[in-house]
Copies of this chain bind each other. A is one copy, B any other.
């Protein structure tokens, strides 16, 4: 097995590209994939103020490293979700990476600033934690980006994440979600910052390999609250199909972005107005995050009452 570029001994096989790479050229390959996505989808340029959602996992740290090496100045924002050791370790890995590379990391503490943790929200809503978590991340990361004057919020969703989300949306025919899944969500005047996903051409195992090759230490543990969640199940399914037909996942998600998504452009986009509580954009009177925050506060206080 030899590297496609230099014919040295290859360390990494990328079956869907029918290619092998030595460590050096694999790192190059990942960076080129990211560069291509940024360029093809006109995500941002060197003049934009960029902030990256950082979790301390392989995807966000690999992306931070890639973007830095491509010459972009990117700040990070870590959202502490209050999921015990998992959260504090994620913060540790994020801080170390930022310090080692002279990068700025902002930290938002969900329990400290908003009064609840994800496990508490899950208990209060009696639903899977991933739902409250996704909602909180979308809300807070956008708010930080907006309030601190960033032009673009960068997210570390990889090819597997996007394919699994698409698979769920397609097999359940969630037309609304299908109409909104895109590599770039444009800014809207009412408070939504432009959001981009430069890792859509890089698979999960490739961000992991990138980190190992670059000596980046990251949180290896999966979130303890996400065990057996739907997206992970879809990922397992897609891995079975990918095993049988290498390139399946990439064809599915990239074909959607190239052609399929046009079918869902006509789906009605909801009108946004300011939330009556926090002022952030929402389709209703009170935004979903404020409703979650309020519900959790009520349940926590009634639990704590004598």
- Which residues on A are within 8 Å of B, measured CB to CB? 170-173, 175, 178, 233, 237, 240-241, 244-245, 248, 251-252, 255-256, 258-260, 262-264, 266-267
Contacts and interface: CB of A to CB of B under 8 A. Distances in A.
Contacts of A264: 263
B266 A172 contact: no
B171 A263 contact: no
Given A264-B263, A267-B263, A252 B175 contact: no
A175 B237 contact: no
A245 to B, nearest CB: 8
Given A178-B263, A263-B264, 17 more contacts: A170-B260, A171-B251, A172-B251, A173-B255, A173-B256, A173-B259, A173-B260, A175-B260, A175-B262, A175-B263, A233-B245, A237-B240, A237-B244, A240-B240, A263-B263, A263-B266, A263-B267
Pairs A-B, 4 closest by C-beta atoms:
A173-B260, A173-B255, A263-B263, A173-B259
Contacts of A175: 259-260, 262-263
Contacts of A245: 233
Contacts of A178: 263
Contacts of A171: 248, 251-252, 255
A293 to B, nearest CB: 32
Contacts of A262: 175
A170 B172 contact: no
Nearest to A240: B240
A233 B258 CA distance: 25
Contacts of A172: 251, 255
Nearest to A264: B263
Contacts of A251: 171-172
A206 to B, nearest CB: 21
